[in-house]
Amino acid sequence: MDWIALGEQILIVIYTFALVMVSIYGLHRYVLMYLYYRHRHKKPYKAGRFEQLPPVTIQLPMYNEQFVAERIIQKACQIDYPRDKLQIQVLDDSTDGTTEIAARAVERAKSEGFDIELIHRDNRLGYKAGALANGLKSAKGEFIAIFDADFVPPSGIIKKCIDYFTDPKVCVVQTRWDHINRSDSLLTQSQAIYLDGHFVIEHVARNRSGRFMCFNGTAGIWRKSAIIDAGGWQHDTLTEDMDLSYRAQLKGWKFVFLPEITTPAELPPEMNAFKAQQFRWTKGGAQTAMKVLPRVLLSKVPLKAKVEAMFQLTCFSVHFYVLILISLLFPVMYIRASNAAIYSPWRMAFDLVVFALATISANVFYIASQYELFRDWRSVLKYLPFLMGLGVGICLSNTKALLEALFGKQSEFVRTPKFGAGTANYHHLRKVSKEVAKPSKRKNKRYILPALEFILGIYMTICSVVCVLNPRYFLAAPFMIIFAIGFFYVSILTLYGLSVARRQSAKPAGVKQRS
Contacts of 81 (CB under 8 A, 6+ apart): 53, 56, 158, 159
Cβ distance 326 to 393 under 8 Å?
no
Give the separation between CA 233 and CA 247, rounded to whole angstroms.
10
Exposure string for 58-90, b = 16+ CB within 10 A, e = fewer: bbbbbbbbbbbbbbbbebbbebebeeebbbbbb
Residues in the chain: 515
Active site residue 93: yes
Q: Are 318 and 21 in contact (CB under 8 A)?
A: yes
Burial class (CB in 10 A: 0-12, 13-18, 19+), 441: exposed
Q: How far apart are the first and last CA of the chain?
A: 70
Given the residues 148, 150, 178, 241, select the one marked as catalytic. Answer: 241
Do residues 59 and 117 touch, judged by C-beta distance below 8 A? no
Rounded CA separation 447/434 (Å): 17
DSSP string, 211-261: ------SSSEEEEHHHHHHTT----SSS-HHHHHHHHHHHTT-EEEEEEEE
Q: What is the DSSP letter of 173?
A: E
Question: d(Cα 89, Cα 84) in Å, to the nearest integer?
Answer: 15
Q: How many CA atoms lie within 13 A of 19 on its CB side?
A: 18
CB 418 within 8 A of CB 94: no
Q: 509-513: long-range contacts (C-beta < 8 A, 24 or more apart)? A: 513/429, 513/432, 513/433
Buried b (16+ CB within 10 A) or exposed e, 386-395: bbbbbbbbbb
Residue 220 to residue 235: CA distance in whole angstroms: 19
Exactly one of 93, 148, 178, 196 is catalytic; name it. Answer: 93
User: DSSP states of 127-153 as a string?
Assistant: HHHHHHHHHHTT---SEEEE--TT---
| Of residues 276, 284, 198, the one with CA closest to residue 440 | 276
Beta partners for residue 215, in sequence order: none
CA angle 73, 74, 80 (to 5 degrees): 105
For residues 134 and 124, what is the distance between their CA atoms, to the nearest angstrom? 11
Of residues 268, 351, 278, 350, the one with CA closest to residue 315 = 278
Amino acid at 50: F
Positions marked catalytic: 93, 241
